[in-house]
Amino acid sequence: MVVFGLWVINKAGGLVYQRNFTDGLAQLTSNEYLVLAGTLHGIHAITSRLSPTGPSSGAQVIEGESFKLTILLTVTGTKFVLLTPLVGTAAESTLQKVYEIYSDTVMKNPFHTPEMPIRIDGFDSRITALLGSGQS
Amino acid sequence: MQQPHSRFSVLSNSSLSSADLLSPTGSSRFSLPSAPSINATLGQTRQRPNIYDRNLNKTRSSEVSASAFAFLFSEIVQYTQKRVSGINDLERRLNILGYRVGMRVLELMTWRAESSSKAPKREIRFLPALMSIHTQVWRAVFGRPADAIEKSVENEDEYMIIDNDPLPERHISVPRDMSQLSCSSFTAGIVEAVLDGLGFPARVTAHNTPTQQYPSRTTILIKLEKSVLEREEIVK
């Protein structure tokens, strides 16, 4: 499936991983990505309190005219965000696979500090195998 | 000052700092008295056999969760990394920890293989011993034999065991500034203990030898002590 980009947001709202997989996306600076991720974190926190029938999972899909943003919230508060075209339905299962790769290569890696940016070769290579290389 | 051999420091009560750090006694973080209370609550519903009374063969074919081991090993490396001053020191500590595992592996394997035999035996020649490490020890510890054994062409006292995808390192990506580090030093410690226990004292180290196909390929380098080679000549 086509994937525009992948973000990993830690439980404090900080962007710890960001990667584009398609050419021709709007060029943003890393600061702008950080702001976007922080804003999404806030929006997500609000949407999880909007439900009239008690606690909610918060926003899972945000759709625009030309793209779709699928959010997977883990039990520990880490968010995986996948930017995809509107068509295609495999975003949720792809995010589950990304979560699996994250658990294997990031959380089991003694050289990674939790909540800090992810700079791990094993994670990069397995994400590349899953989503294609694109640009880094 | 003559320092005691590093690997004994964790077993004896010597005043080496590493003994203080690694020894479970003398640290308040290990609350031994709390352990029986867990058993007590369980014991109310079901009587559990004492671990010492259990048959050692019962767990012969049982397996441990690879994820649980990966998390434990990750914590071991992090714990050790906080207490060392360099990569060499880290590898030495991992080697010592592996040595403690290897001693038990050898004892358990020998017991399982030979205890029922009328004429128990043990390897006295080096090559068969190396073969049994490559297959039996690897199978007991990692669930499959290692990938190759090689003999050094330059030094006749050096042998290598090669693992294309070492289990302890499967989820570990070593950062570039520590590229010298091989976490398989733990495995090297296991090999060193088994060789020591069989009477082939050697120095065992681990080295990264990645290939295109196997990025985490690791070579366990065995450097035998001179006495072993001399004895091999005699018993030939």
Q: Exposed/middle/buried for B166, CB within 10 Å: 0-12, 13-18, 19+?
A: buried
pLDDT of B123 over the 80 cut: yes
pLDDT along chain A (136 residues), means of 10: 90 93 84 94 91 86 92 94 87 93 94 92 91 66
pLDDT of B180 over the 80 cut: yes
Chain A residue closest in CA terms to B215: A122
In a domain, B161, yes or no: yes
Chain A residue closest in CA terms to B80: A110
A104 touches chain B (CB under 8 A): yes
* DSSP symbol at A7: E
Residue with tokens 């964790």: B10
Q: Give residue A82's Cα distance to chain centre.
A: 5
Work out the average pLDDT over B60-87: 91
User: What CATH code is assigned to A5-131?
Assistant: 3.30.450.70
d(CA A116, nearest CA chain B) in Å: 14
Residue with tokens 């975003």: A91
3-state SS assignment for residue B122 = coil
User: What does the mean pLDDT of chain B come to?
Assistant: 82
In a domain, B142, yes or no: yes
Asked if A16 and A37 count as a contact pair (C-beta separation under 8 A), the reply is: no
Asked if A46 and A32 count as a contact pair (C-beta separation under 8 A), the reply is: no
pLDDT of B11 over the 60 cut: no
- ipTM for the predicted complex comes to 0.84
pLDDT of B5 over the 70 cut: no
pLDDT of B130 over the 80 cut: yes
From the list B70, B78, B173, the residue facing A122 with the nearest CB is: B173
Contacts of A119 in chain B (CB under 8 A): 175
Can you tell me the distance from the alpha carbon of A70 to that of A92, in angstroms, rounded to the nearest whole number? 7
Closest by CA to B98, choosing from B233, B226, B7, B225, is: B7
The string of pLDDT tens digits covering residues A21-55 is 888 788 889 899 999 999 999 999 999 888 888 88
**Are B172 and A107 within 8 A, CB to CB?**
no
Structure tokens at A27: 């060029």
How many separate domains does chain B show?
A: 1
Contacts of B172 in chain A (CB under 8 A): 108-111, 122
What pLDDT does B35 receive? Answer: 46
What pLDDT does B48 receive? Answer: 74
Can you tell me the distance from the alpha carbon of B76 to that of B94, in angstroms, rounded to the nearest whole number? 8
Say what the alpha-carbon torsion angle A50, A54, A55, A60 is, to the nearest 10 degrees. -50
Q: Where are the domains of chain A?
A: 5-131
pLDDT of B163 over the 50 cut: yes
What pLDDT does B122 receive? Answer: 84
The string of pLDDT tens digits covering residues B138-161 is 999 998 999 999 999 999 999 999
**Are A122 and B74 within 8 A, CB to CB?**
no
pLDDT of B20 over the 60 cut: no
What pLDDT does B43 receive? Answer: 46
d(CA A34, nearest CA chain B) in Å: 24
d(CA B210, nearest CA chain A) in Å: 14
CATH number, position B204: 3.30.1380.20
Q: Could you tell me the pTM of the whole model?
A: 0.79
pLDDT of B29 over the 50 cut: no
Residue numbers of the domain that contains B227 = 64-235
